[in-house]
Structure 1
């Protein structure tokens, strides 16, 4: 909300014939889901019941945000579980294939495939851990709540 005061003319002390103009501009702002009580009161004065509607709208928006956050957390947990299961299946499949190759075919190729499988799983685990640590440090630097 910006309000402007009247321009006023004053005579300059050194030159009485030349007036000095002064302009005063005052501004106020707010942030958050609800305006300050004075503004709510003005809304209510202009449109009766509008303050209650504004408060109800803010409450509805807050509930919506909470539901979305709950869905995101639930989705993250599901994605994490699916990732663990897929990693387990890929790792077991790779180790079984490496064992079969080592027993019935080329032992060196089987050992190499086993190392590649285990190395890949360890690499993915280390990468994910570093990514989570970096994300938490960034959130901590921005003073946001850490959800994961």
Structure 2
């Protein structure tokens, strides 16, 4: 009896059910019960599973408290980082609005001065491009993609 089949030049394992059917009943029961006894565990989360906690504590006394302490420190750190990020983004947004207002006033004054001195075309170009450019940034709340580096 071969436990592998040839398929396009490669040896691959045969179907386990075919092999089990060829075995006597008593051997088949032993193999099936052994196969069913194999267990796979997975756990997802910031902390180990309760069974793992128990095993850690049995291996090294006090390890559960150390793990909890590390987890609490990590959570506190993450919360502090999120607060810092929110504050920085708010500051950046506010600074951008203040600078945009200053630019509008500056270029508005230049356009007005040029218009008063007989340079209507140049004044119109500067005024319109400034207002349109900043309006696009304010309305979209971002720089248009054609001006961002690395994007196509």
TM-score, normalised by the number of residues in structure 1: 0.71
User: 1:105: how far off?
Assistant: 3.3
Structure 1 CA distance, aligned partners of 2:135 and 2:69?
51
Structure 2 CA distance, aligned partners of 1:16 and 1:95?
95
Larger strand proportion of the pair: 1
* Structure whose CA Rg is larger: 2
Structure 2 CA distance, aligned partners of 1:56 and 1:111?
65
> Structure with the greater relative contact order (CA < 8 A, sep ≥ 6): 1 or 2?
1
TM-score, normalised by the number of residues in structure 2: 0.70
1:56 aligns to 2:64 (yes or no): no
Deviations, residues 66-92 of structure 1 (Å, cap 9, x unaligned): 010011001001101110111011111
For these two proteins, the number of residue pairs brought into alignment is: 120
Gaps of 5+ in 2: 1-19, 145-152
Native 8 Å contact 2:137 2:143 kept in 1: no
Deviates more, 1:37-46 or 1:121-130: 121-130
Which position in structure 1 is the counterpart of 2:44? 31
Deviations, residues 5-36 of structure 1 (Å, cap 9, x unaligned): xxxxxxx6765399444434311111111112
Gaps of 5+ in 1: 1-11, 132-148
